[in-house]
């Protein structure tokens, strides 16, 4: 059984083709810079040299078509034709309250995803484009939606209800949903395994830091709070999103600028965050490079990001009572040693003692690394996420009729014997 996992982000499409019987990745890769120009695909096949091809991808449909073309290529492909694919798993950012777990995609499910697309304007449209493209190319293969919001359905009301008129929740679904659920699920279970414990015996704070950023407080294996809210706009400072701001600011600036609600939404989602502070950068590598060269606004952007990480770590420790570990993951979390260092410095009062030499030398998308000292009461890990493996295991479980609550389902990566490929 070969499963294709597609993860369509705001400016990228990650993919992984997985042989379930052999429990191995046949091929994986990513189309970068989708919709922003200069796009290209990096295609990786175990045991072979990586393949890179520049190819303009003005939208996600073209990006998915490029992936399919590459997978079936006579030169670098791994399957003769797409009929070898048994099923496709798709990341879907927002499921609203309708979806509390992964689901087979049909017309009703697809429409429901479209109905809440306005709550995740940078992602749900991309997810939908990927689903529709895959359904056209693989009409016979089951398609499964894996929702970012599902992992956070364990949050208590005190965490997900906003202090606004309660009718907004009952009539319009206004509440905290949370996102990056598959990533938080994966790395929290890996952290438990690295600690030699079961997931329900561990309290973890997971920090998913990429272009999009979300933090999660996990108590005894379950999400009890998370930084993103009704939409992915709330919470930490992100590549182009503002995160937490005074809620009066949008109305105030709409009056000053004379812009519409739609234009303000775009400003907060696409022109704020790291880009808003620096004036020109979203990639943390660019920010770090120019900060080191003396760019004051880049230095400020790094300080703001690290400061907000510190505040969330502190607040989430109080929410879960104690913490066994802090986990950094996703592109910046895995590669941004400077951001990790700034965020963890000064947290010795919370039992976190960063090993500066280890942390600053750790930039990896493959290796799991402890970046605190051996005597640190609270451990800090860099754990490369593998959302695609969660997709694959959910798809297989649904096809086999064994799918159940994530605390009960025996994910392979939750085992202490699991070795990341």
The tokens describing 388, both together, are: 């695609």
- Residue 335: inside a domain, yes or no? yes
Pair (26, 139) in one structural domain: yes
- Residue 166: inside a domain, yes or no? no
Report H helices in 195-295: 249-257, 261-270, 273-278, 284-292
Task: Tell me the backbone φ, ψ of residue 223, rounded to 5 degrees.
Answer: -70, 125
Pair (82, 37) in one structural domain: yes
pLDDT in tens, the chain (421 residues): 899 999 887 788 889 999 988 888 999 999 998 888 899 999 999 999 999 999 999 988 888 889 989 999 999 999 988 788 899 999 898 898 888 889 999 999 999 999 888 887 778 888 898 888 888 878 889 999 999 999 999 999 999 999 999 999 999 889 999 999 999 999 999 999 999 999 999 999 999 999 999 999 999 999 999 999 998 899 999 999 999 999 999 999 999 999 999 999 999 999 999 999 999 999 999 999 999 999 999 999 999 999 999 999 999 999 999 999 999 999 999 999 999 999 999 999 999 999 999 999 999 888 999 999 999 999 999 999 988 889 889 999 999 999 989 999 999 999 988 887 5
- Residue 397: inside a domain, yes or no? yes
Calpha distance 93→151 (Å, rounded): 11
Counting the structural domains of the chain, the total is 2
Q: Domain of 263?
A: 197-382
pTM of the model: 0.89
Q: CB–CB of 173/98 below 8 Å?
A: no
Pair (299, 397) in one structural domain: no
Q: Give the pLDDT of residue 421.
A: 58
Query: What 3-state DSSP class applies to 360?
Result: helix
Bridge partners of residue 216, in order along the sequence: 206, 226
CATH number for the domain spanning 111: value is: 3.30.420.40
Q: CB–CB of 26/17 below 8 Å?
A: yes
Pair (338, 408) in one structural domain: no
DSSP state for residue 335 in the 8-state scheme:
H
Pair (56, 99) in one structural domain: yes
Pair (28, 129) in one structural domain: yes
Q: Give the pLDDT of residue 21.
A: 87
- Residue 265: inside a domain, yes or no? yes
Element (H, E) at 367: none
- Residue 21: inside a domain, yes or no? yes
Q: CB–CB of 115/128 below 8 Å?
A: no
- Residue 56: inside a domain, yes or no? yes
Pairing of strands 103-104, 143-147: antiparallel
Element (H, E) at 348: none
Ramachandran sector of residue 302 (left: φ over 0; alpha: ψ -120 to 50; beta: rest): alpha
Pair (281, 376) in one structural domain: yes
Pair (37, 123) in one structural domain: yes
Pair (86, 38) in one structural domain: yes
Q: CB–CB of 312/227 below 8 Å?
A: yes
- Residue 181: inside a domain, yes or no? no
Calpha distance 290→288 (Å, rounded): 6
Residue 246 designated active-site:
no
Pair (306, 403) in one structural domain: no
Q: CB–CB of 227/179 below 8 Å?
A: no
Segments of 193-322 assigned E as strands: 203-209, 213-219, 222-226
- Residue 248: inside a domain, yes or no? yes
- Chain centroid offset of residue 307 CA: 21
In the numeric block, the tokens 């997709």 are attached to 391
Calpha distance 406→421 (Å, rounded): 22
Annotated active-site residue in 148, 225, 355, 394: 148
Q: CB–CB of 57/31 below 8 Å?
A: yes
Pair (70, 13) in one structural domain: yes
Pair (315, 406) in one structural domain: no
Q: Give the pLDDT of residue 106.
A: 92
């Amino acid at each position: 059984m070969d499963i294709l996992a597609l993860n369509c982000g705001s400016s990228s499409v990650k993919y992984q083709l997985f042989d379930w019987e052999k429990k191995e990745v046949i091929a994986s890769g990513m189309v970068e810079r989708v919709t922003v120009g200069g796009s290209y695909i990096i295609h990786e096949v175990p045991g072979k040299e990586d393949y890179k091809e520049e190819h303009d991808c003005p939208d996600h449909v073209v990006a998915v078509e490029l992936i399919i073309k590459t997978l079936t290529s006579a030169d670098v492909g791994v399957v003769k034709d797409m009929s070898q694919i048994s099923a496709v798993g798709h990341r879907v950012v927002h499921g609203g309250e309708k979806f509390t777990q992964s689901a087979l995609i049909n017309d009703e499910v697809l429409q429901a995803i479209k109905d809440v697309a306005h709550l995740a304007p940078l992602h749900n449209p991309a997810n939908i484009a990927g689903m529709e493209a895959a359904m056209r190319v693989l009409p016979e293969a089951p398609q499964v939606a894996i929702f970012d919001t599902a992992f956070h359905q364990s949050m208590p009301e005190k965490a997900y209800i906003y202090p606004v008129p309660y009718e907004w929740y009952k009539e319009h679904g206004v509440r905290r949903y949370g996102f990056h659920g598959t990533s938080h699920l994966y790395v929290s279970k890996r952290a438990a395994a690295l600690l030699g414990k079961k997931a329900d015996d561990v309290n973890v704070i997971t920090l998913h830091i990429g272009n999009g950023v979300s933090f999660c407080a996990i108590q005894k294996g379950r999400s009890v709070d998370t930084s993103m809210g009704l939409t992915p706009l709330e919470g930490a400072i992100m590549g182009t999103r503002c995160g937490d701001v005074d809620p009066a600011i949008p109305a105030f600036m709409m009056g000053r600028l004379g812009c519409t609600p739609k234009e303000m939404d775009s400003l907060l989602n696409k022109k704020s965050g790291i880009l808003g502070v620096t004036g020109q950068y979203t990639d943390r590598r660019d920010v770090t490079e120019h900060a080191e060269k003396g760019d004051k606004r880049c230095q400020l952007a790094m300080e703001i990001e690290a400061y907000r990480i510190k505040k969330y770590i502190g607040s989430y420790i109080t929410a879960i009572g104690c913490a066994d570990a802090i986990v950094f993951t996703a592109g910046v979390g895995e590669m941004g040693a400077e951001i990790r260092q700034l965020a963890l410095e000064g947290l010795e009062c919370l039992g976190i003692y960063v090993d500066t030499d280890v942390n600053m030398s750790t930039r990896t998308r493959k290796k799991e690394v402890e970046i605190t000292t051996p005597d640190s009461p609270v451990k800090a890990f860099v754990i490369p996420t593998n959302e695609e493996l969660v997709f694959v295991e959910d798809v297989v479980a649904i096809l086999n009729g064994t799918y159940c609550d994530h605390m009960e389902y025996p994910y392979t990566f939750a085992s202490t014997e699991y070795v990341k490929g």
